[in-house]
Amino acid sequence: MLQFFSKYKWFFVVMFVLSAIIIYTFYTVLKPTKKLPIYQPADVNVELVDTTVQYVRKYHKIKDFELINQNGEIVTQQVFANKIYVADFFFTTCQTICPIMTDHMANLQEELLNNDNVLLLSHTVQPEVDSVPQLKKYAKKKGVINSKWHLVTGKKKDIYDLARKSYLASKTDGNGGPYDMIHTENFVLVDQQRRIRGFYDGTKPESITEILEDIKILEREVE
């Protein structure tokens, strides 16, 4: 028996290698490619969505906008045309989750620094406090790179509408005032067609890895 195996050992080695290659090829071909969902308002927790769009089930996209960034520049949807971007909501004087979220945005900025297909966008929910000079000061403190990451302010109604009607990412504080809102920990991934493709907990380090992986998936969609 040993002589038999010794005589044909190279045959068995070759067959083993070929079998491994065939199995790997079948696994690669048959393994389903991960696809990201396209989120609609009806898919999201109603607390995060304005009542006017809560029952929308298709065709939802981020609406046109016009805001002002940390450099006093007008920022519109055209800045993000054909780009993937990550959006969130914050305010500069927040002492709870905002510093963590901003640090994680900074990590994304570093990882994506050489990827011209991806940008970052942070909206203040306290535009009455977060003026352009305040945003500029905050941006310098956090190491924001102007060409990569926009911190924006504007009219409170405009930001409210974006937060609750477009990004589906902020709650109201229940005080009954006009356009009252509080930010959440959500990071929102938006694709090249201005559709929401992911929500992530911006306070968790593991979310950074997940976002980076999902960005690669979106980039492959247009290849």
78 with 171, same domain?
yes
12 with 102, same domain?
no
99 with 150, same domain?
yes
Structure confidence by residue, pLDDT tens digits, 61-109: 999 999 999 999 999 999 999 999 999 999 999 999 999 999 999 999 9
Identity of the residue numbered 77: Q
Q: Which domain holds residue 147?
A: 41-221
Contact partners, residue 43, CB within 8 Å, separation at least 6: 37
69 with 167, same domain?
yes
Strand partners, 189: 86, 198
> Which pLDDT belongs to residue 32?
57
21 with 72, same domain?
no
> Which pLDDT belongs to residue 172?
82
Name which residue leads in pLDDT, 175 or 101.
101
CA angle (131, 135, 138) in 5-degree steps: 140
> Which pLDDT belongs to residue 18?
58
Q: Is 150 annotated as a binding residue?
A: no
φ/ψ (deg, to 5) at 109: -55, -45
Mean pLDDT across the stretch 195-207? 97
22 with 71, same domain?
no
86, 189 contact by CB (below 8 A): yes
Gap between the Cα atoms of 148 and 145, Å rounded: 5
Structure confidence by residue, pLDDT tens digits, 2-28: 455 555 555 555 555 555 565 545 444
Contact partners, residue 163, CB within 8 Å, separation at least 6: 89, 123, 125, 169, 170, 181, 183
Has residue 36 been placed in a domain? no
Query: Could you tell me the CA-to-CA distances from 148 to 102, 118, 206 in Å, in that order?
Result: 14, 8, 22
Mean pLDDT across the stretch 108-133? 97
* CATH code of the domain covering residue 174: 3.40.30.10
90, 123 contact by CB (below 8 A): yes
Enter the pTM of the model. 0.84
Q: Is 183 annotated as a binding residue?
A: yes
